[in-house]
Amino acid sequence: MSWVFLLSQGDCLLPYITRFCSTITMKKLIVSMAIAGLAVLGMGQDSAPKQVAPDGAPKQIAPADAKNHVGENVTVCGKVVDTRHFKYGVVGHGKPVAFDLDQPEPNPVFYFIAFGTGVEGEKEVTEAYKDKKVCVTGKVSVLQAGTAPDILAPDRSQITVQAASK
């Protein structure tokens, strides 16, 4: 009975059972890490009510208003006025391109990040949206304090080009 108590406490006093105790301790560690990881994922679920229009679509907002909707799933519409190409790509997506809406660097009010497809991906995605009015749907985030809010749009279906007004 004392052996069971010693082993369950992880207290290995005898050299010939140390290997067995470390196996039990490692199993406890792995199970604890798995439970902690699942708890973090569970707490990360969005518990805030979604901002949706009466028809069930995400709420449409202006780029300058995006800072008031961080963490919400919305549609931001504006004119692409500037682009930035990143030096490094993302595996499976290629090199990202950032598109500023309504106000360019150095003081953008909002930007979204999209990816091109194929070898000429950057050029293709830039030509698709540059100087056009677009709407992008997704969760608004802020990468660093003091920077403009953004939406990451890895799926191009999140972005729609608006018809030119007459």
What confidence tens digit (pLDDT) does each residue in 121-166 have? 889 999 999 999 999 999 999 988 889 999 999 999 999 999 876 5
Domain match, 36 and 80 both: no
Other CB atoms closer than 10 Å to residue 110's CB: what's the count? 24
Residue 19 lies in a domain: yes
Per mean pLDDT, which range of 18-22, 58-62, 140-144, 145-149 is the poorest? 18-22
- Is residue 46's pLDDT more than 50? no
**How do 96-101 and 59-61 pair as beta strands?**
unpaired
Alpha-carbon distances of 126 from 84, 96, 131, rounded to whole Å: 9, 10, 9
Q: What percent of the chain has pLDDT over 90?
A: 45
How many distinct structural domains can be found in the chain?
2
Domain match, 19 and 66 both: no
Residue 98 lies in a domain: yes
Helix, strand, or coil here: 131?
Answer: coil
Mean pLDDT within 85-104: 87
Domain match, 38 and 64 both: no
Residue 21: domain span: 2-43
Helix, strand, or coil here: 60?
Answer: strand
Residue with tokens 């290997």: 19
pLDDT score at 45 = 40
pLDDT score at 53 = 56
Domain match, 35 and 75 both: no
Domain match, 34 and 73 both: no
pTM exceeding 0.75? no
Residue 134 lies in a domain: yes
- From CA 56, how far away is CA 10, in angstroms rounded? 55
Q: Are 94 and 113 in contact (CB under 8 A)?
A: no
**How do 73-85 and 59-61 pair as beta strands?**
parallel
- Is residue 50's pLDDT more than 70? no
